[in-house]
């Protein structure tokens, strides 16, 4: 351990980068809980320590290891947001410091992630329509969901101003235009080499045309998920796969 760190800062230096984000260990909630115990000054030191440690780790990764890390981080962020049971200012800070730092470093190294999800939400749409649009940008990832775009169109018409629809068919009037606008937004993100999550909650054949798979460079990682985002679930890596 580097003696230049204070004991408090040293508590945030982990043996492995995975410990900062690992879904199975509930890293985000545990990290946020630890932040809650600190005053604002010590929180700033803790977050700066985390960000510095992550930057140093990524700098040591060769290109193949960096891609493997990007796949792991992207998938654990998806599972974390699908599972998280509470939200607080400390959760916001932790996600921004951990995932935001990692995705920024991926971009600096020329690696871009496109993560496309085909999942349904029978228990309600609060996560895809309320939580995800707020959470993914904290990680410097663009989030696009046709039904979330459709909800914004509904708001302009005075619908669902006080509630979140809980079934996809409740946005049937707006979804055609919502999908069109969503694909335009995804295309802009791809052209700008931005990290992208594209979520379809009521998939029909052709809904991912032009989004995935598309021709891309060797450093663009295209990931497809059609299983619920839980521990042990599988993804398909369609491009950018390492050996």
pLDDT of 240 > 80? The answer is no
Distances (CA, A) of 227 to 31, 63, 144, 232: 27, 28, 18, 10
Mean pLDDT of 195-202: 98
**Which residues, at least 6 apart from 61, have a Cβ–Cβ distance to it below 8 Å?**
69
Query: Residue for token digits 């409740």?
Result: 170
Predicted local confidence at residue 1, as pLDDT: 45
pLDDT of 2 > 60? The answer is no
> Tell me: the pLDDT tens digits for 36-63?
999 999 999 999 999 999 999 999 999 9
Predicted local confidence at residue 7, as pLDDT: 83
Of the pLDDT bands very low, low, confident and very high (cuts 50, 70, 90), residue 177 is very high
Whether pTM > 0.85 for this model: the answer is yes
Mean pLDDT of 172-186: 95
Q: Are 145 and 182 in contact (CB under 8 A)?
A: yes
3-state secondary structure 79-133: HHHHHCCCCCHHHHHHHHHHHHHHHHHHHHCCCEEEEEEECCCCCCCHHHHHHHH
> Tell me: the pLDDT tens digits for 81-132?
999 999 999 999 999 999 999 999 999 999 999 999 999 999 999 999 999 9
Mean pLDDT of 129-152: 97
């Amino acid at each position: 351990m580097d003696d230049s760190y204070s004991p408090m800062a040293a508590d945030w230096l982990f043996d492995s980068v995975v410990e900062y984000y690992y879904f199975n260990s509930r890293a985000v909630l545990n990290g946020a809980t630890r932040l809650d115990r600190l005053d604002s000054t010590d929180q700033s030191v803790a977050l700066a320590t985390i960000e510095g440690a992550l930057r140093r780790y990524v700098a040591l990764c060769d290109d193949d290891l960096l891609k493997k890390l990007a796949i792991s981080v992207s998938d654990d962020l998806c599972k974390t947001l699908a599972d998280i049971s509470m939200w607080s200012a400390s959760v916001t800070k932790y996600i921004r410091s951990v995932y935001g730092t990692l995705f920024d470093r991926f971009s600096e190294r020329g690696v871009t992630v496109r993560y496309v999800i085909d999942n349904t939400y029978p228990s309600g749409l609060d996560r895809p329509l309320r939580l995800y649009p707020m959470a993914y940008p904290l990680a410097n990832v663009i989030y696009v969901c046709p039904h979330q775009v459709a909800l914004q169109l509904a708001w302009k018409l005075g619908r669902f101003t006080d509630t979140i629809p809980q079934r996809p068919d409740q946005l049937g009037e707006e979804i055609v235009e919502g999908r069109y606008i969503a694909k335009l937004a995804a295309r802009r993100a791809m052209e700008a080499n931005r990290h992208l999550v594209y979520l379809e909650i009521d998939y029909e054949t052709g809904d991912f045309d032009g989004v995935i798979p598309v021709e891309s460079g060797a450093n663009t990682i295209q990931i497809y998920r059609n299983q619920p985002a839980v521990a042990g679930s599988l993804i398909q890596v369609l491009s950018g796969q390492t050996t």
